[in-house]
């Protein structure tokens, strides 16, 4: 597979009134290949959407590097709330065509062909194209949003919480669409979501984000069954019926996620982690490689890899 983008130690800081600094992304490193779906998982406020916006060029990173596999990368982005990002007065065809029109393409046969191809790729037919966006059901509107993001044939498609506003049937339809798009070897997909079951069903690899830092990344099946970071394990426990045959030790994180304006020293999870030790607050832990591109930022991950029972809450109460 050819590499679409490599992100190394991405950092984004927002300067607020009064001189305060909000560290939205402290350190994010990952790569995405063509034909691949990478899932980016984390709680609200963890920095996931900011990463996506940096990749799409909507925000300028304050540190790190974004290296593209082509000289002129094209990025399509689908935002969290389709009704907030699509002009409701447009007909569907106009919404899909908007990026081409904004780049100077004139109305005509070529434009119509491109719109029909993009619509068809997401399961919309000609009868949908003349409907008004403001009256469109949520699933069809999300499909139109994805068609709009695809119409310029992007190297990378960023999907930011694409199933959040959908009912179960519509959610299933959009996930099936993502599976179909995954088969397109010319496009890579970054799927940003806190919907763990959705992430597991459509991705090859995942990256786990906490308080602006990616703390674990690797193959989807491996992280869902055998995570080595306490935060990842706590997240996986929160998703019911992931794999009843592989019960996980219970994890209880103390308190709430800190404010990005008040990041703790050392490991960002240290104040909440049941397994933290004194060294956890000394410095942010480096990534450790456990093979098959499974990387973990936790100074105790080697202990957890050697003895998974160590992650049982009762064996390591917080002092």
| Confidence check: pLDDT of 276 > 60 | yes
* pLDDT tens-digit readout, 84-103: 888 888 999 999 999 998 88
Given a cut of 80, whether residue 277 has pLDDT beyond it is yes
Lowest mean pLDDT among 23-27, 72-76, 175-179: 175-179
* Mean pLDDT for all residues in the chain: 88
* pLDDT given at position 186: 81
What CA–CA distance (Å, rounded) separates 93 from 83? 15
pLDDT in tens, 136-154: 888 889 899 999 999 999 9
pLDDT in tens, 221-236: 999 988 999 999 888 8
C-alpha–C-alpha distance, residues 154 and 151, integer Å: 8
pLDDT at 311 over 90: no
Is residue 157 left, alpha or beta, with left meaning phi > 0 and alpha meaning psi from -120 to 50?
A: beta
Check: CB of residue 175 under 8 Å from CB of residue 122.
no
Quote the pLDDT of residue 56.
95
What is the bridge-based pairing of β-strands 295-296 and 63-68? unpaired
246 pLDDT tier (thresholds 50, 70, 90): low
Q: What was the pLDDT predicted at 263?
A: 86
- What pLDDT was estimated at residue 108? 85
The closest of 65, 35, 76, 27 to 208, measured between CA atoms, is 27
d(CA 83, CA 165): 10
Report the C-alpha gap between 297 and 299 in whole angstroms: 7
**Model confidence band, residue 312 (pLDDT cutoffs 50, 70, 90):** low
CA-to-CA distance for 237 and 257, rounded, in angstroms? Answer: 17
Give pLDDT, residue 245.
59
């Amino acid at each position: 597979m050819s590499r679409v983008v490599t992100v190394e130690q991405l950092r984004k800081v927002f300067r607020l009134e009064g001189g305060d600094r909000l560290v939205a992304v402290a350190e994010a490193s990952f790569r995405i290949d063509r034909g691949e779906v990478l899932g980016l998982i984390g709680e609200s406020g963890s920095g996931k959407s900011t990463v996506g916006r940096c990749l799409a060029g909507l925000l300028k990173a304050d540190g790190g590097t974004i290296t593209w596999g082509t000289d002129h990368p094209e990025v399509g982005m689908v935002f969290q709330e389709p009704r907030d990002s699509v002009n409701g007065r447009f007909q569907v065809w106009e919404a899909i065509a908007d990026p081409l029109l904004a780049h100077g393409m004139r109305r005509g046969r070529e434009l119509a062909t491109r719109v029909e191809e993009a619509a068809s790729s997401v399961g919309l037919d000609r009868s949908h194209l003349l409907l008004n966006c403001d009256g469109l059901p949520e699933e069809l509107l999300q499909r139109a949003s994805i068609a709009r993001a695809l119409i310029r044939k992007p190297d990378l498609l960023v999907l930011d919480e694409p199933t959040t506003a959908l009912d179960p049937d519509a959610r299933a339809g959009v996930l099936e669409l993502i599976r179909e798009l995954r088969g397109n070897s010319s496009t890579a997909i970054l799927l940003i979501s806190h919907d763990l079951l959705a992430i597991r069903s459509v991705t090859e690899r995942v990256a786990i984000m906490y308080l602006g830092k990616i703390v674990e990344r690797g193959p989807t099946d491996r992280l869902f069954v055998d995570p080595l970071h306490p935060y990842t394990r706590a997240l996986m426990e929160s998703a019911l019926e992931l794999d009843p045959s592989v019960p996980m030790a219970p994890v209880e994180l103390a308190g709430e996620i800190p404010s990005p304006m008040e990041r703790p020293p050392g490991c960002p999870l240290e104040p909440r982690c049941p397994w933290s030790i004194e060294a956890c607050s000394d410095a942010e832990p480096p990534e450790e490689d456990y093979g098959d591109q499974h990387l973990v930022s936790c100074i105790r991950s080697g202990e957890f890899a050697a003895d998974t029972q160590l992650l049982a809450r009762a064996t390591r109460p917080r002092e």
